[in-house]
Structure 1
Amino acid sequence: MKNLKIGKKLGISFVILVMIAVFVNFYTLSSLKKAGQLSHDLFKGPYEVTKQSMAVRSYVNSIGNNISNAVYVEHFAADNKVVILDAFENVEKSMKIISDANITDKSLIDTLDTSVSELREQFKSIYAIIESGGYKDAQDKANEHHSKLVQVYNKCAKDALNLYQDAEVKGIEFDKKVESTVKIVLYIAIGMGIASIVAALIICIYITKKLKDPIEEIEMSANKMAEGDFDININYESKDELGSLSNSMRQMSKKTKEIVNDTVRILGEVASGNFDVTPEAEYIGVFKDVEESVIKITNDLSETMSQINVASEEVGATSDQVSSGSQMLAQGATEQASAIQELSATILEISDKIKDTAGNAKEANALSMNVGNELEEGNEQMKQMVKAMEEISFTSNEIGRIIKTI
């Protein structure tokens, strides 16, 4: 039952309920049919026998009364004979119906038949006397207390009464039997109806419980997953729809948890600076997009960091070159400053020497002037040379000043 589909479970439950209902209805209908048959039997049997027994008593009384009227009232004799004959005929019919009903003791029927036959003989005997004109003899015979007619009539009336009482007793017994049977059928029908209702309730409660427990478990797990907790535990296992749903939710929770944990691992590695990381879990369905995004992010970050590392190396190399160039420039500047200082000292020295030369020239000029006019041309050249020397001295001073400024 556990491994059946829900539709089959409900179908089996429905079939069971239908079978119970059909059985109850069938039993109820058969019981009603039986009660109807008993009612029919009651009508055709004890009721009819009782009615015919009453008719026999009535016919016997009618025969007795009409015989008496025929004896004592002369003009009634002919009419009463017809009535008496009809009464005997009706008694025979009623006795046949009672006999065919087959519920009355045959001895009572036979006894009454004998009494009726004897009464018929007495009727014929009395009417033979009357029809022969012997009314007085007929009256005397009828008036005898212990006459044969009176005895036969009394016995016939008693036998008819016994038959009626027997039919009445059996009718009452049969009626009680019918009433008892109807009550039993009613009680059994009520009991079976209650039992069917109880069975239906038990089946409904059983089916409801079998469906309610796993549904509540699945609902609780679904709520936990909706809140982000994929650590669920569904114990229900079956081959029905709920079992398939439970198994699917367990697999979904397991797969989602694996993907989330793998994503967290990748992000942790990326956060620690390891960009050479790949997914280990199997990303399925919509999670394929997550996998592609994670791979793209790690690849982009790895490529970016590689470029950064290359740029850093290039910047480092350039920095080394700049540092080396700066050192060389500083050294060259130092050497240039030293050379300029030496050049400045040399120029100053030259300037001093030129000044000394100029002084010597002046002294030579003075000496030349003393020599005379021959030396005027040489003197003129000497002046030019002195002027040139002065310009050189001025220029050397300017150069020295510039070098000092530098």
Structure 2
Amino acid sequence: MAGLSIAIISMGKTAIYGALRGNMDDKIRLGIADLDNVVTQAEVTANTIKEGIVSIYDQNDMAGGVPSHLWTIEDDQHNILEPTTMAGTMFRSRIVDAAIPASRYNAETTLLDSIYASLSNNESYVGIGVFLEPNAFYQGIENYAPYMSRTDAEKRKLMVYPYSMYSQKDYYLKAKENKGLNLTNAYEDESADGGWVVSVIEPIIYKDEFKGIVIVDMDMTSFEIIEQKDERFQSLYSNVFDTNGHIMFSMNEEAKGKQLSDILPADSMEKLQSYLDQGEPFNTHIQNENGDLVQFNARPLKIEGVTWWVAIEVSEKEYTKAISNMIMLAIPLSVLGIALLVGFSYFFIKKSLNPLKKIADVGESVAEGDFSKEINYPYQDEIGQIAKSMEKVVERIRSIIQDLAGKLEQIAKGNFSFEFWNTQLYNGEYEPLLTSLYDILDDLNVTMGEIQNSSHMVNSSAMQVSGSAQTLSQGATEQASSIEELSATMNDISVKIKETAEMSQHASGLSKETGSAVGTSNQKMNEMSRAMQDITE
């Protein structure tokens, strides 16, 4: 029991440690989702402004000419409404002070209103601009690059940059090359506002021709949305840093805007860099700028050509303490849970085994030849399947026994040629029963045939014996008369023998008397011999 408790505690510790790590990972995932929403919102803003610019390329009106009209207007009777001609109306750009067609003037108005509205409604935007290629807005306009910062928006002010200012910038060249949405790492803003920003770059493409970009600059306050708090960890910091190791946001005010390499010890930075180079989520232990051991969990956000990292760090002491507290709470709960588990397990196992015991009893009865018991289990679970199978087995055996009894009854009545029915019962291991019955019938048929043949032979022999018996009877009659004559002769011989016996008895008497006389004679002779001897002497 002690070993089991230790094992459970160890497993609980591992589970708690994993749960805490999972909790940290969940916080990072939430941060990534929030960060992705920030970027997506900027992408939507850039794309909306881009669509307003792209629409001008479908309109070929000229400055001072008839304005292009893309829309078809109908009244309630579906009559097309044509506006009065505006030929000769001259429009001038408010950005570059050049004559432009009505379509460009309308697009410019929409552009300025969209930029202003976006900056007014999103505090994380530092500035928004549209930087076009020469002649991309209208023929003859070499520099068309309006940019409005948040500060300028408040003053209804606009900056116009020359093409040479942005044409060789990395973000511009990258968008021009891949013609896809791009995101920059953090960089220092060169405007009067200064500070570190990241930019969403939306290329303007018309019929596969690069026309320029829409740029949305965001300051680092955009990332405050990823801030995570946990009452268990007072030292918990969430951070966002880019591929270059620049800390774009940190709950640790001292780390904001700095490089990881500037605040971490060299060995910690080297260890961290080895994980960053792999580009995969990781968790490790490092020493922070204060020399304290911390748990460092990070996950990459790969988005629009860059990789940003969302990380959470927490003091190892607090982390371990949280684990210990959870373990101390989990131990009594685990013991109680084990006790309840054992109790419920015993109850449910015992309850579950009762139907199996009934099935076993039916099996014992079947083994003893009693097929009268039935299995009643109404549930369609695993035990129900066993019960169904047992019922099929019992029913099969009962059917086979009844079938064999019927067949053997036919054999007992001397019917060896009845038709075999219910052969489908004898499948698998039951097939030898039917095969053996076939063999018995074949052997009985052969035996009965041999008995029949023997019977015919016995009848034939009996007739021969009967004839011999008659002949023997006649001979016996003739012998009987001879025996009677022989009997009479034997009687005569018997009388003669009796007479001879009587004579023998008489002769025996005479012999005895003669023997006595001879003895007396011998005595007298002995006496005479002695006397003569005496005389001689």
TM-score, normalised to structure 1's length?
A: 0.30
More strand as a share of residues: 2
Larger radius of gyration: 1
More helix as a share of residues: 1
